[in-house]
């Protein structure tokens, strides 16, 4: 199925990709062609129950629909009206039930077609599910920032203030080794801004082992080349030494870039230059050292010993580190730059900074993520295996299926190969499609011919809805 215009159906994945994402199994492709009934369409006998379906304009004029229009918008309401009529037309409900069914769907209706999904894959940062889920504190902040908000105003003096001061302060509190912080639109933007502001028209030295594709076909080398800096690749895929950097550095060098190859792992005969060694070389030649961390850990996490963090990288001598807000940091989509004041200021004052600036909602959510309680991401990562076992047992007791050991994953290109020991309920593989199409939608992991429901990334408060959704899917 080609995605076109307004036809919205389940996404189609290549087989390998779908398996990886927990989406494998038959994906029933149902295309609904919505149409507004008109008199010339289907000849109906007067006994035809379809003739009793309330007319579109009658439904649209009803008070419930008029009320809902103010909340949902006319297009959404019309879509729901037509969907209720369709159900009657297909015999799923009686024509007389159309107003009630419509009232229910208007009540549940949202102005977005994005649907909340219960993440039962065990993959904590699931890119296709929007990466990190926001904390309750961040959701409150989003709500507060949604209207007019003092994002660039000092209410005490009534004059303009610097955008993002509160998020900046929260970042600096979370990473005291940084002199300055800047928030932009996403991790890629932070990296592009760093390379543009610090090395445009000059060379950036980077190891061949770190020229990664960050997902959906976006490749770091292409991204950097698009900024007008020239890549100077050194070393080999598995081994790059300090001397490789040293022999490449010269008057043309704009920066040294070290990238954390976050989404894959090279095992065996490998070597990479450490940040502190590169720092000495960069300092001798007076070029900045940029470290692209990716994941956004501000401080080390003992659970993920190989995952680099901002504090350690700055301590080892990075001039600036770049990271995402919605990976291990557990916040909204954002790009973060932390580092020496002179370097971050060059980024902040570069014209490109305006093109990649963070929006007020993300700034508010990021601040609340940093100052608020543990994020859902941290909770899922550090979930106690015994507690996961008890929750899986309770689910299996209610729905059947077998409780099996199941390793969760960090996901989102973080800590590849690090298993997060836990448990899942194993169900027949074909349960997966019914779970995805249920209400609430649930995404399980499809693996080894089974549908695995892992409670790791499900807030405990949602265990009830999850159980009900699995029961409904099994009865399907
Ligand atoms: C994820 C990642 C990026 C891109 O960050 P986005 O927030 O997705 O734009 C860049 N570099 C590394 C190392 C990453 O892991």
Residue 35 has pLDDT above 80, yes or no: no
Q: Which helix (H) or strand (E) holds 218?
A: strand 218-219
Please give the pLDDT value at position 476. 83
Q: Show Cβ contacts of residue 265 under 8 Å, excluding neighbours closer than 6 positions.
A: 416, 417
48 with 196, same domain: the answer is no
CA distances (Å), origin 326, targets 16, 125, 249, 256, 335: 25, 8, 34, 25, 9
What mean pLDDT comes out for the span 70-80? 91
Residue 101 has pLDDT above 80, yes or no: yes
Please give the pLDDT value at position 45. 54
What percent of the chain has pLDDT above 70?
88
Task: Residue 213: give its domain's CATH number.
Answer: 3.40.640.10
Nearest CA to ligand 1 atom 12: 294
211 with 249, same domain: the answer is yes
A 10 A CB-CB count for 38 gives 8
pLDDT band of 211, cuts 50, 70, 90:
confident
Residue 47 has pLDDT above 80, yes or no: no
Q: The pTM is what?
A: 0.84
Residue 463 has pLDDT above 90, yes or no: yes
pLDDT band of 111, cuts 50, 70, 90:
confident
pLDDT digits (tens, 9 = 90+) for 181-200: 999 999 999 999 999 999 99
Spatial separation of the C-alpha atoms in residues 143 and 360, rounded to whole Å: 11
Mutational test site, ligand 1, from 220, 264, 292, 415, max ligand atoms within 8 Å of CB: 292
Residue 38 has pLDDT above 50, yes or no: no
- Residue 348 sits at the vertex; the CA angle it makes with 347 and 350, to the nearest 5 degrees, is 65
Q: Is 260 in the pocket of ligand 1 (CB under 6 A)?
A: yes
Mutational test site, ligand 1, from 294, 327, 412, max ligand atoms within 8 Å of CB: 294
104 with 162, same domain: the answer is no
341 with 245, same domain: the answer is yes
193 with 272, same domain: the answer is yes
447 with 318, same domain: the answer is no
Atom of ligand 1 nearest to the CA of 295: 15
pLDDT digits (tens, 9 = 90+) for 346-381: 999 999 999 999 999 999 999 999 999 999 999 999
Q: Per-residue DSSP letters for 417-461?
A: T--B--EEEEEETTHHHHHHHSSSEEEEEEETTEEEE--TTS-GG
- Last-in-domain residue among 344, 372, 400: 372
DSSP 408: B
What percent of the chain has pLDDT above 90?
74
Q: How far is the CA of 310 from the centre of ligand 1 (A)?
A: 14
b/e burial code for range 368-379 (CB count within 10 A of at least 16 → b)? bbbbbeebbbbb
pLDDT digits (tens, 9 = 90+) for 16-29: 333 344 444 333 33
| Residue range(s) defining the domain that contains residue 87 | 5-108
Count of structural domains within the chain? 3
Phi and psi dihedrals of 40, rounded to 5? -85, -5
More confident residue, 117 or 211: 117
CB 369 within 8 A of CB 138: yes
- Last-in-domain residue among 339, 372, 405: 372
177 with 258, same domain: the answer is yes
Q: How far is the CA of 278 from the centre of ligand 1 (A)?
A: 22
Please give the pLDDT value at position 221. 85
Task: Residue 383: give its domain's CATH number.
Answer: 3.90.1150.110
- Last-in-domain residue among 74, 108, 142: 108
Residue 119 has pLDDT above 50, yes or no: yes
Residue 3 has pLDDT above 70, yes or no: no
328 with 432, same domain: the answer is no
Please give the pLDDT value at position 265. 66
pLDDT digits (tens, 9 = 90+) for 393-417: 999 999 999 999 999 999 876 777 7
138 with 55, same domain: the answer is no
Please give the pLDDT value at position 2. 36
Please give the pLDDT value at position 263. 65
pLDDT band of 6, cuts 50, 70, 90:
very low
Q: Is 334 in the pocket of ligand 1 (CB under 6 A)?
A: no
Please give the pLDDT value at position 198. 97
CB 446 within 8 A of CB 434: no
Residue 30 has pLDDT above 80, yes or no: no
Q: Per-residue DSSP letters for 255-291?
A: EEEEE--TT----SS-B---HHHHHHHHHHTT--EEE
366 with 385, same domain: the answer is no
Q: Which helix (H) or strand (E) holds 154?
A: strand 153-154
421 with 335, same domain: the answer is no
pLDDT digits (tens, 9 = 90+) for 289-346: 999 998 899 999 999 988 999 999 999 999 999 999 999 999 999 999 999 999 999 9
Across all residues in the chain, what is the average pLDDT?
88
Nearest CA to ligand 1 atom 14: 294
More confident residue, 89 or 268: 89
Determine the length of the chain.
476
193 with 300, same domain: the answer is yes
Q: Is 292 in the pocket of ligand 1 (CB under 6 A)?
A: yes
């Amino acid at each position: 199925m080609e995605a076109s215009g307004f036809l919205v159906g389940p996404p189609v994945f290549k087989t390998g990709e779908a398996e990886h994402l927990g989406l494998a199994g038959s994906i029933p492709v149902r295309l609904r062609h919505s149409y507004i009934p008109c008199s010339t369409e289907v000849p109906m006998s007067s006994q035809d129950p379809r003739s009793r379906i309330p007319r579109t304009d009658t439904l649209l004029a009803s008070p419930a629909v008029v009320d809902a229009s103010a909340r949902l918008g006319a297009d959404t309401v019309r879509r729901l009206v037509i969907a209720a009529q369709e159900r009657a037309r297909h015999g799923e409900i009686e024509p007389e039930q159309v107003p009630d069914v419509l009232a229910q769907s208007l009540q549940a209706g949202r102005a977005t077609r994005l649907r909340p999904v219960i993440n039962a894959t065990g993959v904590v940062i699931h890119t296709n599910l929007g990466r990190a889920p926001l904390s309750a504190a961040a959701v409150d902040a989003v709500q507060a920032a949604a209207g007019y908000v003092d994002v660039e105003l000092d209410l005490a003096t009534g004059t303009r203030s610097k955008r993002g001061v509160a998020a900046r302060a929260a970042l600096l509190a979370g990473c005291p080794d940084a002199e300055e912080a800047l928030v932009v639109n996403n991790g890629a933007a932070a990296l592009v801004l760093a390379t543009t502001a610090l090395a445009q028209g000059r060379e950036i030295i980077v190891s061949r082992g770190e020229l990664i594709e960050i997902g959906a076909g976006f490749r770091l080398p292409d991204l950097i080349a698009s900024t007008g800096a020239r890549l100077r690749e050194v070393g080999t895929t598995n081994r790059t030494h300090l001397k490789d950097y040293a022999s490449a550095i010269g008057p043309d060098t704009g920066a040294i870039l070290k990238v954390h190859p976050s989404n894959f792992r090279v095992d065996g005969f490998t070597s990479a230059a450490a940040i502190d060694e590169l720092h000495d070389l960069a300092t001798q030649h007076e070029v900045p050292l940029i470290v692209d961390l990716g994941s956004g850990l501000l401080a080390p996490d003992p659970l993920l010993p190989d995952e680099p963090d901002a504090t350690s990288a700055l301590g080892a001598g990075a001039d600036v580190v770049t990271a995402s807000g919605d990976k291990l940091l557990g916040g909204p989509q954002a790009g973060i730059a932390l580092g020496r004041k002179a370097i971050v200021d060059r980024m902040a004052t570069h014209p490109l900074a305006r093109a990649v600036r963070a929006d007020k909602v993300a700034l508010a959510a990021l601040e609340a993520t940093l100052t608020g309680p543990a994020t859902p991401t941290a909770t899922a990562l550090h979930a106690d295996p015994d507690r996961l076992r008890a929750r899986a047992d309770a689910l299996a007791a209610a729905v059947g299926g077998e409780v099996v050991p199941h390793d969760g994953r960090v996901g989102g290109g973080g800590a590849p190969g690090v298993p997060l020991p836990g448990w899942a309920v194993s169900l027949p593989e074909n349960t997966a499609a019914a779970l995805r199409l249920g209400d609430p939608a649930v995404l399980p992991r499809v693996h080894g011919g089974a549908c695995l429901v892992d409670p790791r990334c499900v807030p405990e408060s949602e265990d009830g809805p999850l159980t009900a959704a699995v029961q409904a899917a099994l009865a399907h």
